[in-house]
A and B are shown apart, each in its own frame.
Chain A
Amino acid sequence: MQRSAFWSSQSAFRTLGRLSLVGLVAVGGTAGSAHAGNQSAANGAQRAGTIEIASFGALTGPDAVYGVSSLNGQRLAVDEINASGGIDGRKLALVQYDDLCEPTQAAIVASKIISNKSFTAAIGPVCSADALAALPIFARTGVPLIMAGDSAPQITTMVKEHAYTFATRLSPQDSQNGPELATLAISVLHKTKIAILYSEDDYGQGVLAAAKPVISKLGGSVAAQESYTPSTTKDFTPQLTKIAGSGADVLLLLGYYSDTGIAVSQLARAGVSPNVTLIGSDSTAQQPFVTLAGAAANGVYLVPFYSPNNPSAVNRQFVTAYEKAYGSAPTGNAVMGYQAVYTLANAMRAGGSSGDLAERIRAIDFEGPAGTVDFDANGDLKGNPATVLRVSNGKLVADQKLTIALEKALKSD
């Protein structure tokens, strides 16, 4: 879900690339803030009654998939709320900023947002490293910040240490997904010789770190543990060949679908037996995973914190509206963006315009498409039960039996 800026031999090239993007945007006269959806919001300060929300995330660059999904979810929510009369007659308006999933850019964007006094709240970013860079800047004014898509545990630490009460986080946590994957493999599917392929960044390492103690607690063993550089590695055969030779009976894929999808498409050529069970982490559970992995995706288990197949009424309504608006099923980032706007709207409705908005956001409790939105003392989302999906005929299908079995197994541990 989150992307952190990773160190690689290419960072200089990437930085160059990004600089140019910044340059192009600057030449375009928008200087880093792209008013894509709500042009009129730019001078909204003069337009009485509009509630302005700063929205930031990666809108261009290699990580734009995440930022754009989140923005789509936010826009859908804003449109729904405005269509039903807004909040006490006041319309919501998003003002977008592109942080390129670069902490330095995130800091610049955060400064811009806090210096504009017309914002009621801010939503973003989609990368953990950007959140860590932006938080101290937001702390200067304390404008409410709803993070949607930043799953790194360091954020909890920072929020707790500095008592950043203005911040809440609507993201699943890496520390939750790791144990779910391990439990599914060992307790539910009874596979104990575990191979792990993880992304060499905060996300992959975070899920790995959370999974390993559970693996040994449940009596499993790690037969192979291989990593790759996210979005750079395209040839996974060296890692997979080692995994093939390790005798593992299950392979955990801890990474983004854009990488794990390609890795899965290379299993056969690396000699990995088709009998090895595959389990993908939250960030792998996206439909494009199947397009990248091809036929090899069939039978793969996925454990996302959100599934468009979730049968709740609020989710069905959200998925229908999202598909109508964007022509594709919502992703985890999209649902987080959507819930972020509703979190803000519900908090504003709850207390009119009096009192501390940040406090009211933390006190929120409602049913969103991804489950209950309810924050703990550190502003983190309280855990929701995981869904188990299985790829069948190229589609991600919810597996009710395994979902229930996993929930039971997690409770009994």
Chain B
Amino acid sequence: MASSDSLLEVRNISVYYGSFRALEDVSYTVGPGSVVCLLGGNASGKSSSMKAIFGTVPLRTGSIRFEGQRIDGWTTAKRVAAGIAAVPEGRRVFANLSVRENLELGACTLRDGRAVRTYLDAVFDQFPQLRERQGQMAGSMSGGEQQMLAFGRALMSRPKLICMDEPSMGMSPALVSRNFKLIKSIRERGTAVFVVEQNARAALKIADYAYVLRTGSVMLRGPAEQVATDPQMQAAYLGHTPLAATVPPAAH
């Protein structure tokens, strides 16, 4: 993908926690309206990649561009206002706030109050259960409902890109398939999705492009169908064996 028509362009970033290197010279590109998935075993740096996009961890090296603009010096709030939204790992709804308040907070970077009400209605139309429970404390809902709320909250700012960190973690198969349907419907509206998934087989079915991380480096990348048929991938991931367990450590 040429950088001129990419929505998000992460180039050669490294992230360190103290002296521990979580990401080393990693690049991703997300085109407008596309679905890009990020695969990788535990502790391979997937969440760190998300945090780098939102600026909640500092970059040691590299740059991040959104719609052609350098955003790596920006505050998180400014990045969200520019059109990037998050569905964080483990959903993280505001448990002591009502469903409605959670959704309103999703639009906290918007200035136009009338637009917020319109968007809220749109989210309620998409998730009627949330409308029914709008006054309920978010923490009192089931895991599946909270996941729905986390999606709804991210949609409230009408972002151009939604970043999801393992939305299917701990979900029942039925809910997982609902998540994938949702991702498809989001893409159909023209919103790009950058999604971390463990369920590689299902993720590769809906994604346009995929990256596979191992111990902080991209070990494999390509169009989704190509990655799906990659022998390394076949052996490691799609053959029901955990990736981290079978892929030999990288020779440094």
In the complex, is A directly touching B at CB under 8 Å?
Answer: no
Interface residues of A (CB under 8 A from B): none
Interface residues of B (CB under 8 A from A): none
